[in-house]
Structure formats: structure tokens, C-alpha cells
Amino acid sequence: MSHPLYVAFVWHQHQPDYRDPGSGVACLPWARLHAAKDYLHMAELVADFPAIHCTFNFVPSLVEQLAGIGAGRYTDDWQALSLKENWTAEDKQFLLDHFFSINPRLLERYPGYIRLREQSDSRYVSEQYFLDLAAWFNLAWIDPRAISRDETLRALVAKDHEFSRADVAAILAKHRELAGRVIPLHRELAARGQIELSTSPYYHPILPLLIDQRLAREAIPNIALPAVAFAHPEDAAEQLRRAVNAHRNYFGAAPQGLWPSEGSVGAELLTLIGGQFRWLASDEDILARSLGKAITRDHEGNVTNPRVLYQPYQVASHRSQVAGPKSQAASRHKRDASRRTEDLRPETGDLRLVFRDHVLSDRIGFGYQHMSAHDAAQELLHRLHRIRERIADVERGYLVSIILDGENAWEWYEDNGDPFFRELYQALSNDPALRTVTMGEYLRANPPRATIKRLAAGSWINGNFDTWIGEPAQNRAWELLAQTREQLALWQRDYALAHEDVIARAWDELYIAEGSDWFWWYSTHNNSTQNEMFDELFRGHLQSVYAIIGLPVPDELKEPIRKAIVETRERGIRALVTRQLAGAETAGDEWNGAGIVEPNASTGTMQHAETKLARVFYGYNADDLVFRVETRVDIAPFRVALYLSTPRGERFNARPRDSESDARLALKWEIAVEPGQAEARVYRAEGQEIWRAASFGARATVRNRVIEIALNRQDLGIEWGDSIGVLAALAQERRLVETLPAQGAQSFTLREM
């Protein structure tokens, strides 16, 4: 039998539980907004192409939120503010600060929304302005395809301005309607056999770190660990038990597959999950470490030993006694650190392991957004055919696993990714050499032929756990979690006859606090303008544990774990920058038409004086892209670089030089001024975080606290209508000190003026 190359897409859907532990109202709207824009859209796209089979992975806490939003039980602060009858001055400032929180690609579809952005000075706007802003923010977050099919939504888009409160209410009613259709459509597609539904632990914790934090030292032996140890495999088991039960409740059947949060695995996890799942997925870095064999790639990023990566594995069978809770509801909370239920788990020999292709997953997540839909789809198909050619074995069925975030990337694509997916799914449907499959259907027909002796501990991010543990703020958060858990366990031991509802509510708050997202945001590599809110929510859940069981809240839970980061504010491009490279201490009139991004002095506890990057001007004229970087310190000791994301070219790097975290960009160009130098050098991304000197240079003027740079548009291959992303970075002694914007990049589009 001649096999095609099998391709398994896994679209991972996750949003943290942002509900305030006191009010139950979500502080952030992202579950609702992604329901309106992405979750239903992704499933509808698959439904339009019956030959396409794939897997959707839903984190159970997100499914719970979607069900609540669709039923009208869950709301969020942004929704409540949108519907408020009378806005205070504080409300209006919140609207101005947050209701442009949308990708420029989506905002710029709507002229009425663009006008609001250009007129966002609160001194000159009316009450109607804020009504229009509330309407456009919520309307623009709806999938454009859903708008095109809905008469009410089409009429609202055509209305353009002078919206009423009834209009805003109608838009939010559509959000609820779209959220309410997400679960039923996925159930329907699963019943049809076109998709598989897999799960993750309930509140998205990093399971190996719950089992034993010391597992972090398997990948990084010298990583700093919290002073208070956390080793509770029973909590990991409970997160999985809840996930399976919730999945069965919402989707009608138990899940067969598990995507552990962030692909985080380890040998200890396998003995814990035993026979609960048929397959488990992680990243190629984990496979390489497990085999002691590198996954090598050529200069184009193609795997040179494809038979190693593109097949499933099993783990050498063994039995192990591990700590785990009993499954009966009445007993699942009656446990503590000193009294665990020993639970003999089945052999792991029937568990199949698959490992994702990191490069292909990242090309969809970060790279193809800068290409046309047709070119991006063809580039991916070309890479898949290259894999099949290199395997050179059609007698066996090999599998390419492409696993990535299923919600956040599409706003960077044309029309929310719709043209790209239609090109891709149609091409795959017509290609006899390639066949898309769910994980389950592939593994039923192609059992593993290879065995891993021991599964390495790590995640998909650099193959380790340092995204969630090891830094001072992260470790402090773990210590507070461990101390709170210990107090809860001791209280439960002393008050064993306490009402079960009280015990259950306290454990619920603790399990929420075990989620990975809190520790992600405590990392200095994952800054957000909402760090302060995340910190308050995390500490709020721990405070609730004490409140529920009637103990005083420790003072240390009332203090922020880490300062908030600086928010940025920006002004879009208004005119061509006609003259350049004067390098004056103060920007002259020639920069009046340029866009500006700068830290927002009014946000959080960190003020302007604490940042080194003051402002970045960005603009263009008929021939050049032009930039001006202003700093608050002498530039000489620092390496100053601009990173550009541009539409053309296949190769990209995912992070700035000297940074350990992805910028969520496909970085194509680096323009750098070395410490003490007066010239700017241009580097082209080669992929695999390699930068190679370009054949052309940039014009630059370097002063004490100012750098001005001009680059020829033709050298960069940039045309009118292209969207560009720019990120400024300051580094010292091979360490990234600061970026502006602090998160992501500033986007702008080249328009003829």
C-alpha cells in the first residue's frame, strides 16, 4: 500500500479564567471576543471542506466560559461598560485607553473606526464619540465572514456612525449568539468524524511543576527554585480528572487525546495519567532530548532526518504508584500533603506520543501573515512535499504534526485568516500525496513502531520550564501558592467535618491559581500592560482561599508581587516625512507627520523616568522608511536596534537578538547601531535565530540620545499598501534591556499620500 504523507493540525484554544474571585465578573473580555471572531470561524472553515480532518484542543476552563457567555450567565467589565447608560469621566478614559485594543488590520477595515482613532483626544470628543467607540470596538471584533452573513450586522457596518445604545446592545447580543454556537458546532463535527476534540488540564497548569518543581532542573540543572517546595501530584491528577469530566459533559464523550499545557511533559506525568488517554502531544525539542538525538534542519529549515520526527512513539511500559485523588466527589477534597491516596495506574504502553514540527507550526503562527494567502498556502504545501520526498518511504504512513494557538494569530492575517485557510484547505483537499487526519484516526491505523525509553521533562518553549519558574517574581508566586495550599490542607485536617461546599470552593480557588498564565506573566520576558491586573487576580484567588475558610489573609498577599510594566501610547502616521537625518536633540517639524510610540506616563507604578527608550518616530516618503529613536540615557554603552516585520521573504526570526522570548513577530530585518559606533548595519533574518549581514546598508545619524535612520524601500522589497511592524530594542552586554513597544510591535501601512 502506498501512503500519502499524513498531516495532523491541532488548533489549541485557550483563554485564562479572568473572572474576579469576588464578583465572578471577568476583568478582561478575551474569551467573549475570541468567540465572536475566532472559535466559531475556525470550525466553520473546516466544515466548508469535508476532506479536511483536524483536531481542536479546548482547555476546559475556556469551554466553561464559552458556555456561560452563550447562556448569558457570564459577563465581563468591558461588556458591562459598553452597556452602561451614563459614562463617568473615568469610564470615558477607560474607553479611550482600551477600546482601540484590536489589531490594526481589523480596525482599518472600517472607515468609521479609523476616524475615531484619528480623533482620540478626550478634550475634543462628544458623548456620541464614545457611543460610536463602544459600538465599533465590539463590532470590529466580530469575524468579518459572520458580519457578511448577518443582515443586522451588515446594516450596522453601513451605518458607520451615530450609533445608539440599542445598537451596542444588539452587537453584544450577537457576541452571545456566536459564543453559544461554538460548542454545538464542534460536537456536530466530531460526531461526523471530521474533527477530534482533545483536552488540556482544567485550569491550564504546567503539570510537571505541580508534580514536583524539581523537575525543572532536568532541563536546567542550575535553575533557581522557590524556597518553599511544591510537589503535589494529586493536584495534577485532579486537574486532569476535572478536565475529562468537563469534556464529557460539554462534548458528550471522554477525550482520547491530551495536549498538556504548553506541551509540558515528563516521565512522571506518564505514570500519572496512565490509561486515561490514548495519545499525548508535545514538541520536537522534547523528542530530541528524549532520544539524545538532535532534530537537524538545513538552511531552509527543512528537517534532514525526517523519519525521526514524523512518526509516533510509545514509551517503554512500566508500572508506578503515584499520588492521586479518588474520583468520588465527596472524597476528592478530603486530602492534604501528608495523607495522599495511593493509586495504581495502568501501564503506559498503550499511550501514543506525537511531537509537533516546531518550524511549520511557527510559520503559520508567526510567518505566513506577511505573505499573500496563495503564496503562504503554496509555501506550506511545498514544505510538506519536501518532507515526503526526503522520507522516501511510501510503504509506511508518516505523520507531520502541526500544533499551535488557534485564536491569536489570525488577526494578523488578511480578513482574519479566511483567505489563507480557504487556499490551504482547498489545496490539501485536492492533493493526493497529502492527507489531513485527526490524531486519533491516524494512530488507530498506524501504531507506533519506535519506543522512547524515558520521556524528557520540558515544554515546547525552549524545551524547559523557565517561562514559568526560576525568576524572583515567579518563585515568589509559587511560594505563596505553596503556603496557601499548606494552610488549606491543615485547616481541612482540623475541620474534617466542615461543609463540603466550603471545602470545594476553597480548593477551586487554589486550582485556578495553579494555572500557567499567572506564572507566564510574572516572567520578565512576557511583559504586558495588564501585569498589574494579572497580579491582583492571582493574589485574589489565594486571598479567597483564606476568606472562604475563615482565616485572616496574610499581609504578604496584599502586596504586589511585581511592578506593572510601562504601557505605551501611540500616534499614527499623518503625513510623509520629507526631510531626514538632521539628528537634532529635539525632533523638528520634518517629523510632525510621523507616527510616534512612547511609554504612557500615567499607567501603573512604573513611570517614564524608569524607562530608557523615550520615543520612536516612524514614517516614510517616496523613497525611504525613516525612523527616529530617542532615549533618556546616553546611547554609547548600548546596542540600539530596530527590527522590521515585512511582507516578503520566507525566512524570519522569532525574537530580537539577545532576547530569550518570542516577540510574536516574524522578524525579517535588523538595523543595529553597535555601542559607541556612528553607523547602522543591516542584517537579514536567515531563520533559526541567525542574522546575516545584508548587501546594502542604512543611512544613520547618531547623537548622544538620538538615532535617526533611513532605509531605501526598494532594498527591503517594500511596496505601497504593505503593512510593516517595527520594534526598537536596547541591549547591553548581550542582554536585552528594554523594547518599545514593550510587547509586540508597532504596525503601520504604507499609503500613497
| Boundary residue ending a domain (558, 591, 620) | 558
Q: Which is more confident, 220 or 381?
A: 381
Q: Are residues 553 and 654 in the same domain?
A: no
User: Mean per-residue pLDDT for 20-35?
Assistant: 95
Sequence letter at residue 279: W
Confidence band, pLDDT 50/70/90 cuts, at residue 370: confident
Please classify residue 2 by burial: count the beta carbons closer than 10 Å to its beta carbon, then call 0-12 exposed, 13-18 middle and 19+ buried.
exposed
Mean pLDDT of the chain: 89
Q: What are the C-alpha distances in Å from 59 to residues 12, 278, 325?
A: 8, 18, 21
The pLDDT of residue 337 is above 70: no
What are the two backbone dihedrals, phi and then psi, of residue 8, each rounded to the nearest 5 degrees?
-115, 110
Q: Are residues 511 and 366 in the same domain?
A: no
The pLDDT of residue 492 is above 50: yes
Segment 73-105, tens digit of pLDDT: 999 999 999 999 999 999 999 999 999 999 989
Q: Are residues 539 and 598 in the same domain?
A: no
| Boundary residue ending a domain (558, 589, 622) | 558
- Report the pLDDT value the prediction gives residue 124, as an integer from 0 to 100: 65
Q: Are residues 715 and 665 in the same domain?
A: yes
Chain-centre distance for alpha carbon 524: 16
CATH number at residue 526: 1.20.1430
Indicate the helix (H) or strand (E) that contains 211: helix 207-211
**Domain annotation covers residue 466:** no
| Boundary residue ending a domain (113, 148, 175) | 175
Q: Are residues 161 and 214 in the same domain?
A: no
C-alpha cell at 675: 555601542
Q: Are residues 544 and 595 in the same domain?
A: no
Q: Are residues 672 and 719 in the same domain?
A: yes
Which residue range forms the structural domain that includes residue 124? 73-175
Confidence band, pLDDT 50/70/90 cuts, at residue 600: low
Sequence letter at residue 83: L
Number of domains in the chain: 4
CATH number at residue 202: 3.20.110.20
Q: Are residues 80 and 190 in the same domain?
A: no
Q: Where are the beta strands (DSSP E) in 306-360?
A: 313-315, 321-323, 342-344, 352-356
Q: Are residues 335 and 268 in the same domain?
A: yes
Which range among 47-51, 496-500, 625-629 has the greatest average pLDDT?
Answer: 47-51
State yes or no: cis peptide before 741, omega within 30 of 0.
Answer: yes
Least confident of 283-287, 475-479, 588-592: 588-592
**Domain annotation covers residue 28:** no
How far is 541 from 547, CA to CA, in rounded Å? 10
How far is 31 from 282, CA to CA, in rounded Å? 25
How far is 221 from 217, CA to CA, in rounded Å? 4
Identify the three-state secondary structure at position 260: coil
| 367-372 CB contacts, 8 Å cutoff, 24+ apart | 367/650, 367/652, 367/666, 368/413, 368/420, 369/409, 369/412, 369/413, 369/666, 370/645, 370/646, 370/647, 370/648, 370/652, 370/666, 370/668, 370/723, 371/647, 371/648, 372/414
**Domain annotation covers residue 598:** yes
**Domain annotation covers residue 464:** no
**Domain annotation covers residue 181:** no
How far is 187 from 286, CA to CA, in rounded Å? 32
Confidence band, pLDDT 50/70/90 cuts, at residue 605: very low
How far is 149 from 156, CA to CA, in rounded Å? 13
| 91-95 CB contacts, 8 Å cutoff, 24+ apart | 92/122, 92/130, 93/122, 95/130, 95/133, 95/134
Segment 660-704, tens digit of pLDDT: 665 556 789 999 999 988 899 999 998 878 999 999 999 999 988
Query: Can you give the pTM of this predicted structure?
Result: 0.78
Q: Are residues 544 and 585 in the same domain?
A: no
Q: Are residues 369 and 516 in the same domain?
A: no
Confidence band, pLDDT 50/70/90 cuts, at residue 275: confident
The pLDDT of residue 635 is above 60: yes
C-alpha cell at 612: 530608557
How far is 623 from 408, CA to CA, in rounded Å? 34
Q: Where are the beta strands (DSSP E) in 450-566?
A: 450-452
Q: Are residues 447 and 481 in the same domain?
A: no
**Domain annotation covers residue 462:** no
CATH number at residue 695: 2.60.40
**Domain annotation covers residue 606:** yes
**Domain annotation covers residue 180:** no
User: Mean per-residue pLDDT for 423-448?
Assistant: 98
The pLDDT of residue 460 is above 50: yes
